[in-house]
Chains A and B, each alone.
Chain A
Amino acid sequence: MNSAAISPGTIETPWSLPYKGQVGMFCLIVAESTIFVIFVVAYLFYIGKSLSGPTPREILEIPIFATVCLLSSSITIHTAVRALGKANFGTFRLLWFVTLVLGAIFLIATGFEWRHLIVDRNFTIATNLFGTTYYSLVGLHASHVTVGLVGLLTVLLLALFGKVRLEHYPQVDTFALYWHFVDAVWVVVFTVVYIIGR
């Protein structure tokens, strides 16, 4: 039997299906969101259940500057992808670089926050339940930021060597989806840890 003979007639409507990268990234985001949901549930469940101090209110400071940096990186990456779509490579490279810097600032700020807590306040993951849930939830997010930064850096290096062209728009756009997800998760983590949790 010849597979070419399968069609008894032609298909009337034009046949187009979604881009597989977008669908795959969307699935990854669903899976990752579920992981975050479990950690957030654990965080909320354990609020106020620590048997010993310190409490969140005593030691947590709201990281406003880092948050502003991370959230504005969503705008810059969106604009960068738009620029790439218009074949405006200079703007793309510049805004992509700004995104990378903003993300890096966030990660460094988290690093300093942890350093302060661990070194100055002697507060670790083993101190109490609050420490366990705090470091794991914020750390889970920070590890996603780190993965995102590696991706941002890879694309930036490729772009600097002129390897990112107009035909790579779907891939770059798909990666931007991941970065938006990382930013959106921070809104949830920020609300849970620094507003509800305090």
Chain B
Amino acid sequence: MSSESIALAGVPERSQPLSAVLYSWVTTVDHKRLGILYILLAVFFLVIGGIEATIMRIQLIVPHNHFVSPEFFNQMFTMHGTTMIFFVAMPLLFGFGNYLIPLMIGARDMAFPRLNAFSFWLAAFGGLLLYFSFVGGYGLYGAGSAPDVGWFAYAPLTAKVFSLGHSTDFWTLGLLVSGFGSIGTAINFVATIICLRCPGMTLGKMPLLPWLNLVMAWLVLLTISPLTAAQFMLCLDRFLGGHFFDTQAGGSAVLWMHFFWIFGHPEVYVLIIPAFAFISEIVPVFSRKPIFGYPVMVGATVAIAFVSMTVWAHHMFAVGMSAYGNTFFAMTTMIISVPTGIKIFNWLGTLWGGKLIFKTPMLFAIAFLFQFLCAGLTGIMLSAVPFNWQLTGSYFVVAHFHYVIVGGILFAAFGAFYYWFPKMSGRLYSEALGKLHFWLFFIGFHLTFDFMHIPGVLGMPRRIYTYEPGRGWDVWNLIVTIGVFFQGIAVVIFVANLLYSVFEGKLAGNDPWDAWTLEWSVPSPPPEHNFARIPEVRSRRPLWDIKHPEDPDWKYE
């Protein structure tokens, strides 16, 4: 099983007609191909969601701009938020999980390969439904109208009287369908990790990526389902004349808020936990040290998952809950920073005294550490109720959660792209272009999201389509928009690098990073069956044991 067999395996595929290749991808149940399909779906929607963000930022670059209409601006922020969470972040993380989990636990595929394919196509169909609203969602403003109710779609904006036509219906059905896909994938992840580990891989010897994905999948089961239930209720209201969120008939708009955020806040952790998983694989390999505090890392992740179920109403401090409610949710929100802080210290402990290698994945990982810490700190600021009352619904909040999602999740995901690209494609990416991508994106990110905090503190509300000059917001909005173009160019370089390297990159071999987990023991790209013989492991770093038979890990664990 050398790199020779890769080239041989590649030849017959290329000589196939395009229709046969397409057919094999559409009908595939192979976890690696589905993983790549998930990732491609995510990149596709990342570009679309990025274009929507750019449209908003161009509109806000100067006061009294007329680049787009207020109605279109409303559609843009709704579609941007919905797309980025449900059709970029989720499929991206599911894609990496799908690709890596069976390889890392020494399995030949997921537990339910056909359910896996079904889940992917549901996610893709959900995205299609959402975007079909642009042509099919006849609304108030003439033919074709995208949803414009915001990504959390507060009642009564979604009520039939306030949202005519079908734009909101496409929103709710798109999320319902992709939510079923997410639940299917989560079931698959849990069953795979519990039932298909290779001999010797006890839970205590499992690499952190499957461990953290197990916690994430569990969290998906507990948090996507409330969203599904709430979307059912919204459908009943809109299609059958129900009154769940109809305040005219005694229904409660606040109940929707609770149901949405019971999903919405743990969802942040659904997204960040796999990002933690990437960092926990990348940082040790490029520090040439095993992860510091493995059991604590697992424990902290489980703790985060538990506490994340009890913090949702910190999104609703301004609604007017009781003082006890406010106090409770402020406390839990502050408590969740403790296990998160433990993780930061563990990664620092891994870096400490290591022989650091600053390849592109490592650059993204280190930027992640710093930015995620800052995002956590503004999160603690917002958990203080009086501070929150002052800044809720302002650009400070927008800056805070983009710091988490872009500065945390997206940076970790870019690191993962570069780290596992040689495994998925069999070829090395261009390190120079990778570093250029990193620095441009890093500069763009900080220009945009550092300076976005300031107009927020100065009182600029989120979701406004334009603003008066002379309020002290102008220059900050200009800087924020300039940063967007840096990020846009960086993403173009990223896509170009991947496309170029897939065809022209140097052959990677099995193990370009001298790493320690099982996916690096098989050829790149791995054969359809992954492992010719199911491996047996005796430690958390099975490849270290092979490379260093004189000093294997299992002597110490």
Chain A interface residues toward B at CB < 8 A: 1-11, 15, 17-20, 23-24, 27-28, 30-32, 34-39, 42, 45-46, 49-51, 124-126, 128-129, 132-133, 136, 140
CB-nearest residue of chain A relative to B183? A31
- The reply to whether B538 and A8 form a contact with Cβ atoms under 8 Å apart is yes
Instruction: Pick the residue among B196, B237, B538 that contacts A9 (CB under 8 A).
Output: B538
- Confirm or deny: B222 has a beta carbon within 8 angstroms of a beta carbon on chain A: yes
Q: A1-B510, A34-B221 are in contact. Are A11 and B236 (CB under 8 A)?
A: no
Known contacts A20-B112, A132-B243; 11 additional CB pairs below 8 A are: A1-B511, A3-B535, A7-B200, A7-B535, A20-B196, A23-B191, A27-B190, A39-B233, A45-B255, A129-B243, A129-B250
Instruction: Pick the residue among A10, A17, A36 that contacts B197 (CB under 8 A).
Output: A17
Nearest 4 pairs of A and B residues by beta carbon: A126-B241, A34-B225, A7-B536, A38-B229
Q: How would residues 169 to 203 of chain B score, 1 for a CB under 8 Å from any chain A CB and 0 otherwise?
A: 00000000000000100111011101111011000
Instruction: Pick the residue among B190, B226, B242, B535 that contacts A34 (CB under 8 A).
Output: B226
CB-nearest residue of chain B relative to A34? B225
Q: How far is the CA of A35 from the CA of B224 in the complex (A)?
A: 9
Interface size class of B (residues with CB under 8 A): 35 or more
Q: How far is the CA of A167 from the CA of B237 in the complex (A)?
A: 46
CB-nearest residue of chain A relative to B509? A1
CB-nearest residue of chain A relative to B545? A8
- The reply to whether B531 and A18 form a contact with Cβ atoms under 8 Å apart is no
Q: How far is the CA of A138 from the CA of B224 in the complex (A)?
A: 21
The smallest beta-carbon distance between A56 and chain B, in angstroms, is: 15
The smallest beta-carbon distance between A139 and chain B, in angstroms, is: 9
- Confirm or deny: B142 has a beta carbon within 8 angstroms of a beta carbon on chain A: no
Q: How would residues 261 to 288 of chain B score, 1 for a CB under 8 Å from any chain A CB and 0 otherwise?
A: 0100000000000000000000000000
- Confirm or deny: B102 has a beta carbon within 8 angstroms of a beta carbon on chain A: no
A-B contact pairs, 23 of them (CB 8 A): A1-B1, A2-B1, A4-B533, A6-B542, A6-B546, A8-B554, A9-B538, A11-B200, A23-B111, A24-B115, A35-B225, A35-B226, A38-B226, A46-B251, A49-B250, A125-B236, A129-B249, A129-B250, A132-B237, A132-B242, A132-B244, A133-B244, A140-B232
- The reply to whether A5 and B249 form a contact with Cβ atoms under 8 Å apart is no
- Chain B, interface SS category: helix
Q: How far is the CA of A129 from the CA of B542 in the complex (A)?
A: 59
- The reply to whether B511 and A7 form a contact with Cβ atoms under 8 Å apart is no
Q: How far is the CA of A129 from the CA of B510 in the complex (A)?
A: 62
Interface centre among B1, B192, B221, B228 (most CB of A within 10 A): B221
Within 8 A of A (CB), among B517-550: 518, 521-522, 531-533, 535-538, 542-543, 545-546, 549
Instruction: Pick the residue among B187, B535, B537, B552 that contacts A27 (CB under 8 A).
Output: B187
- The reply to whether A35 and B229 form a contact with Cβ atoms under 8 Å apart is yes
Chain A positions within 8 Å of B531 at CB level: 3
Instruction: Pick the residue among A23, A128, A132 that contacts B195 (CB under 8 A).
Output: A23
Chain B positions within 8 Å of A45 at CB level: 252, 255
- Confirm or deny: B259 has a beta carbon within 8 angstroms of a beta carbon on chain A: yes
CB-nearest residue of chain B relative to A9? B538
Q: How far is the CA of A46 from the CA of B254 in the complex (A)?
A: 12
- The reply to whether A31 and B199 form a contact with Cβ atoms under 8 Å apart is no
CB-nearest residue of chain A relative to B521? A3
- Confirm or deny: B230 has a beta carbon within 8 angstroms of a beta carbon on chain A: yes
- The reply to whether B195 and A19 form a contact with Cβ atoms under 8 Å apart is yes
Chain A positions within 8 Å of B232 at CB level: 35, 39, 136, 140
The smallest beta-carbon distance between A21 and chain B, in angstroms, is: 8
Chain B positions within 8 Å of A124 at CB level: 241
- Confirm or deny: B240 has a beta carbon within 8 angstroms of a beta carbon on chain A: yes
Q: How far is the CA of A15 from the CA of B549 in the complex (A)?
A: 24
Q: A3-B531, A6-B542 are in contact. Are A34 and B112 (CB under 8 A)?
A: no
- The reply to whether B236 and A136 form a contact with Cβ atoms under 8 Å apart is yes
Instruction: Pick the residue among B191, B196, B255, B510 that contacts A42 (CB under 8 A).
Output: B255
Chain A positions within 8 Å of B195 at CB level: 17-20, 23
- The reply to whether A31 and B537 form a contact with Cβ atoms under 8 Å apart is no
CB-nearest residue of chain A relative to B258? A41
Chain A positions within 8 Å of B546 at CB level: 1, 5-6, 8
CB-nearest residue of chain A relative to B531? A3
Q: How far is the CA of A10 from the CA of B531 in the complex (A)?
A: 18
The smallest beta-carbon distance between A135 and chain B, in angstroms, is: 8
- The reply to whether B243 and A11 form a contact with Cβ atoms under 8 Å apart is no
Q: How far is the CA of A125 from the CA of B259 in the complex (A)?
A: 21
- The reply to whether B221 and A39 form a contact with Cβ atoms under 8 Å apart is no
Instruction: Pick the residue among A2, A4, A38, A133 that contacts B259 (CB under 8 A).
Output: A38
Chain A positions within 8 Å of B192 at CB level: 20
- The reply to whether B536 and A125 form a contact with Cβ atoms under 8 Å apart is no
The smallest beta-carbon distance between A175 and chain B, in angstroms, is: 15
Q: How far is the CA of A128 from the CA of B194 in the complex (A)?
A: 46
- The reply to whether B190 and A125 form a contact with Cβ atoms under 8 Å apart is no
Q: A3-B521, A38-B230, A129-B249 are in contact. Are A136 and B242 (CB under 8 A)?
A: yes
CB-nearest residue of chain B relative to A11? B200
Within 8 A of A (CB), among B199-234: 199-200, 217, 221-226, 228-230, 232-233
